[in-house]
Structure 1
Amino acid sequence: MGNNRKLRLLGLGVFAVCMLWSCTKRQAAMTTEIVSDELWKDVDGQLINAHGGGILHYKGRYYWYGECKGDSTYRLERVKSWECWRADAKGVSCYSSADLVHWKFEGIVLPSVPQDSLPDLHPSQIMERPKVLYNEKTGKFVLWLHIDSPDYEKGMAGVAVADKPTGPFVYRGSFKPNGFDCRDQTLFKDTDGRAYHICATDWNETLLVSLLTDDYTGTTGVYKRILVHEKREAPAVFKRKGKYYLLSSGCTGWDPNEASYAVADSLLGTWVAQGNPCSGPNAKKTFYAQSTFVLQLEGEDRYIALFDRWNKKNLIHSTYIWLPVSFEKEKLVITWKKRMML
């Protein structure tokens, strides 16, 4: 009897240890903590390469689209006005996640084309700031990105379309939105289904807001030049409680500067600058990072501001900084947190 009791106790002990190990493993798999300014890896242990990106929520998953940069960084010496560091473009990458922490690589959904008649997509060219919207009317996923020459003299917007969020996207070509040059850019879909393209224009002197066509693949001729001569780039737009917010950076090339945000009652209305929303160490340098997107968590009044901390001499190893957005009355605040729980 004594030996049987000992065996039962031993069995219960082993069972408890196994359960504890199983729960610990399951909790580790379910961790929803974002750690900023580190090299992130996907679920297969590979480096996440999705810079200057944006996120689309579709049918319970988040899709992160970004610049897939080559592994060699070089300086374009013929550009004398600023430090034009470059990495060859590999295309637009896509990752998917259910929790914003564990990301699956879905592939390069719009690849660069080394030997093709489309010079826009050659690896030597600029393929930056990709953003994707889903169009309920057409059932298509529409991707916009900044297309440029290596010296940033071209200033165009490119458009591609896909049947699935994971592509492949078919390139439609590039153009100047409403006839204006286009550099850093983003997209925004309003609650009424209308979509807008927002980009730096006038050689980064001004921002341009353009209403898109019903299929989201072109501009309508309805537009508004905003923050004129304020020299803002890296726009990120979101809406909260009927007001529109636009986060942006100054224009200092790859080097960090002070962020600013503006507020409007309409995307095509009057935007009023509000100053720097950042709070904490290095807030006047935007935590040594640059804005790219503001994500609203699906079904919640919670927002995450996405930034890139550029490593200009090794661009593929630039890191990501994702920070919580809060509001003090109506004031937008982005506070530094190395670790953020979702």
Structure 2
Amino acid sequence: MSPIPGVQLVRRADGSVAQLHALGMLKDGGRWLAYGEIKTRGSRFGGICCYATEDFVHWRDLGCALPAGEPGGMTSPERIVERPRVLRCPANGLYVMYLHVDGEGDYRYAHVGTAVSERPEGPFRPLSTMRFGMNASRDIFAFQDWDGSGYLVSEDRDQGTHIYRLSRDYLSLVEDLVCRRGQDGRFGYESPILLHRGDWYYWFGSQLTGWDCNDNMVSVSRDLRGPWSPWKPVAPPGTQTYQSQCDAIVPLSEDPALPCLYIGDRWRPDHLGESPLVTLPILIDDGCVRLLWREQWDPGKGWR
């Protein structure tokens, strides 16, 4: 693989910035697909784009996976629609996209939105929005375990961050497995990530500090239902996760001596459409996590 830069502003063939914000990742054969928010209109919904990469250095534009829809609908261009995450459902072969769907300029709606497609690059068809009971849902993450079962991690703000079990068709929330608050006990963590590697589950999240970066945290467990370990910083305390917010952790190899790929957003609030990605090595093995700073790095090189 090519050396991966520690920070990169991905560009399309025409020179414009690739819209890979708050991205979700899906393995598709020998390539990875990245689904990103289109932020050329600021915080309002501009659609979800899809890019393919084999090495996380070169990216191919596959077009708009989910365009903005009609006013008043789930994908209205006036809504706040964020955090695209895609799973392939083993039961029916469909690709399901999950979204944080909120109101037209506010965060009072707080639902999970779903869209489906027969192809991983789309186009996706919007279906509906949902909640588990009366629980609000803001930042989300979709996770498929080793046995094909699906889960959705969802930040609630009032109660904490939940792990929900998905139905067999991946289109509804059927069980609230666990709900946790952050280290200070006030809220859950946003921008969640769930990863299963070796004998451990790893739960990552970002503290609630608005547009300001913070020390993102991780907790580990041998079972999704817990018990979960106390939250610990992913990177050296005070580095504010190297000025980023976690989006995805990509296992590049089964070898625990080799790093995974950490992908995070480095937001530019006044120019969201030009926010770069932070793409750093993260060591994950036997319940331990360490994010490393590198200007560029070789994914085939270990640092044990």
The normalised TM-score by structure 1 is 0.80
1:108 aligns with 2:64: yes
Q: Which residue matches 1:287?
A: 242
2: CA distance between counterparts of 1:312 and 1:332?
29
Q: In 1, Cα distance between the equivalents of 2:290 and 2:276?
A: 22
> For 1:149-178, what per-residue CA distance to the aligned partner results, in whole angstroms no more than 9, with x for missing partners?
222121111011100011011111111134
Residue 99 (structure 1) aligned to one of 48, 52, 55: 55
Once the two structures are superposed, residues 175-223 of structure 1 have per-residue CA deviations (whole angstroms, 9 ceiling, x without a partner) of 11343100111011000111100011134x5111000011111111343
The Cα of 1:137 is off from its aligned counterpart by: 2.1
Q: Distance in 1 between matches of 2:203 and 2:176?
A: 19
- Alignment partner, residue 338 of structure 1: 295
Taking only aligned residues, the RMSD between alpha carbons, in angstroms, comes to 2.0
2-side partners of 1:300 and 1:219: how far apart?
34
Q: What is the CA–CA distance in structure 1 between the aligned matches of 2:130 and 2:265, rounded to whole Å? A: 26
Distance 1:34 1:153, change over 3 A: same
Give the counterpart of 2:144 among 152, 174, 189: 189
Q: Does 1:235 align with 2:192?
A: yes
In structure 1, the residue matched to 2:251 is 296
Are residues 98 and 106 of structure 1, via their aligned partners in 2, closer, same or farther at CA, if it must alter by over 3 Å? Answer: same
Q: Which residue of 2 aligns with 1:77?
A: none
Structure 1 residues 279-336: Cα deviation after superposition (integer angstroms, max 9, x where no partner):
3xx8531111111111112655442111100111111111100111114764210011
Query: Which of 67, 80, 87 is matched with 1:133 structurally?
Result: 87
Report the Cα distance in structure 2 between the residues aligned to 1:328 and 1:300, rounded to whole angstroms.
9
Aligned residue in 1 for 2:282: 325
Which one-letter code corresponds to 1:70 in the other structure? Answer: T
Letter in 1 for 2:166: L
Separation in 1 of the partners of 2:39 and 2:121?
18
The equivalent position to 1:50 in structure 2, one of 15, 20, 23, is: 20
Letter in 2 for 1:154: Y
Cα distance in structure 1, aligned partners of 2:17 and 2:3: 18
Q: How far, CA to CA, are the matches of 2:267 and 2:219 in structure 1?
A: 24
Task: State the secondary structure of the residue aligned to 2:202.
Answer: strand
Larger helix proportion, structure 1 or 2?
1
Q: Are residues 1:226 and 2:180 paired? A: yes
Q: Which runs of 5+ in 1 are unaligned?
A: 1-30, 74-86
The answer to whether the aligner puts 1:257 opposite 2:214 as a matched pair is yes
SS of corresponding position for 2:92: coil
Gaps of 5+ in 2: 300-304
The equivalent of 2:269 in structure 1 is 312
* Partner AA of 2:171 in structure 1: T
| TM-score (ref. length: structure 2) | 0.90
- Show the counterpart of 2:30: 60
Deviations for 1:21-46, whole angstroms, at most 9, x for unmatched residues?
A: xxxxxxxxxx7122233321135543
